[in-house]
With several copies, the nearest count.
Chain A
């Protein structure tokens, strides 16, 4: 059932739709570049995993969702959340550990969440979001509502037991979940090929008798269309789909890793297939003007500049906040003792 999907006929999309996707992709890249710069300057700390190169899969997948839908993200989650509509300023502020961040500074880069957007958590534990997304799918299923849940995870995460256990349940119970694997070919330094015996992650769908589809994750439209179809299936009660988007992680695993362990060819390919450059060219090809494109780029850039200023100027949380939010009903003895 694993097939490599190429788009047969391109349905036409409105310019504003295409420009909108492009602008969001640029927004994500600028966000990540700004984060990298701030990290290098020592303005923020911790483990920051950038998704530069993966913007098409973030935006393509999230564009296929409706506002009532849900999603889960990963340690490499800024792009997923921004693609879903998270505010760059509050996202950036969270990276800075500021009180105005989405989690009041308590979460940090690996835990950006805006629950009001249906984001059920980013996750620092590889594979841990998969059961959570499955639980969201379970709720839609037992309540008979038609939201779908999009579950992002990496190629390497597909070797965690949660992948098997969760997809098995979703398949057995026909849950409306889209398991969306961003295959950038590496888990930190380990090539997925060296720790897997199939050519694709999508082939694993056979073990659960559900569709498994491998696509070009650098093409936001291919991603959008494939996810859209899976969303339709799920919404109709036809169950889960496993989608594998082939993509590239331009940066190291996290800030501070220069990815010397990868062959040079990796970045050559990645540059050639860079989703932003190629999508830009395609927009021009579809007759969208250079001026409109530049305007979108400028708008994205401006939003990030403002986000940076917002984050930088925001206050750190008051240290009295440190014990808050641990329990919903504050019981002094729980936290104090």
Chain B
């Protein structure tokens, strides 16, 4: 075990994969000398050289497409979008190329690429740099979507994502980067599609991921003090989804709340609600609840930003409302 930040854990995971497999390359802005704004590729240029650390111009639409082309040639590119909001200028290579090419070619090609992108609010980055866009990605068939919360998971999941043969969207919450946590020294590659039951409980299941994992754990702690027992599940990957774990938990607690940072309308909470309603309706003692971001653009001003995404108190209130407590 050694203590490292989430950003260091991602860096370590990528570094090990680059050492293990020379087909793995890095593609993106400021990845070279600077080592990326969040220091995620620090030292890579020195260690792996400019042929494996491709520092690009600000041309996301094309360097992401370029990575797709490289993937078709057997390379395993890890692309960084500096903020996930910039998918707005790189959607075509992701949605219409990477995600579809395997299918459209009748299985002739595989696109083993990872698109990493910081996401999330709380850093006062305002309207064009603060979104959580995982719901947009999960609606695009052909993509896998990974949203780690802890340093250990981040490392194990980036490794799995790099080894995966399908395009993987890997979303890193900016406000988790600096979080220091224990990471096992031995190599762990966590299969995509395995949720993590962080806290066992009997009254209600709370599904969450990424930064909200910490908010929800705090809420669960406080609720425990009031005699409410929450089962907290960190989904870790949204596609594929660990349905077995969700199902087992709902069958135990009979109540479900989904907590996410992103925009509520059309969020992941909606899809999870619908799946649970379709398959576990009779198990439920209460309507599935959703706690999510408002249906607005991220405001800059700190007090406004803080009411835009869910706080610990919001989840506490939602649980109590749902359980009539």
Contact = CB atoms under 8 A, between A and B. Distances in A.
Interface in A153-183: 156-157, 159-162, 165-166, 168-169, 172
Contacts of A102: 105-106, 108
B138 to A, nearest CB: 10
B128 A125 contact: yes
Nearest to B51: A142
B126 A107 contact: yes
Contacts of A156: 57-58
A195 B126 CA distance: 28
Interface string B234-264: 0000011101000000000000000000001
Interface residues of A, number: 79
Contacts of A124: 96, 126-129
Contacts of B85: 125
Contacts of B56: 169, 195
A231 interface: no
A165 B57 contact: yes
* Candidate in A162, A261, A325 with the most chain B CB atoms within 10 angstroms: A325
B318 interface: no
Interface string A304-337: 0000000000001101011111111101011111
Interface string A249-275: 000000001000100000000000000
B265 A337 contact: yes
Given A46-B124, A102-B106, A189-B34, A131 B62 contact: yes
B295 interface: yes
B190 interface: no
A71 to B, nearest CB: 11
Contacts of A134: 62, 65-66, 69
B126 A159 contact: no
A217 interface: no
Interface string A49-74: 00000000000000000000010100
B13 interface: no
Contact of A138 (B69, B126, B241): B69
A115 B105 contact: yes
Interface in B100-126: 101-110, 123-126
A135 B127 CA distance: 22
Interface of A: 45-47, 70, 72, 97-98, 101-111, 113-115, 120-121, 123-128, 130-136, 138-139, 141-143, 156-157, 159-162, 165-166, 168-169, 172, 187-190, 194-196, 257, 261, 316-317, 319, 321-329, 331, 333-337
22 contacts: A102-B105, A105-B106, A105-B304, A123-B128, A125-B89, A131-B64, A133-B69, A139-B74, A142-B51, A160-B89, A161-B61, A166-B66, A169-B57, A169-B66, A316-B301, A316-B302, A316-B304, A317-B303, A322-B296, A324-B107, A327-B144, A328-B102
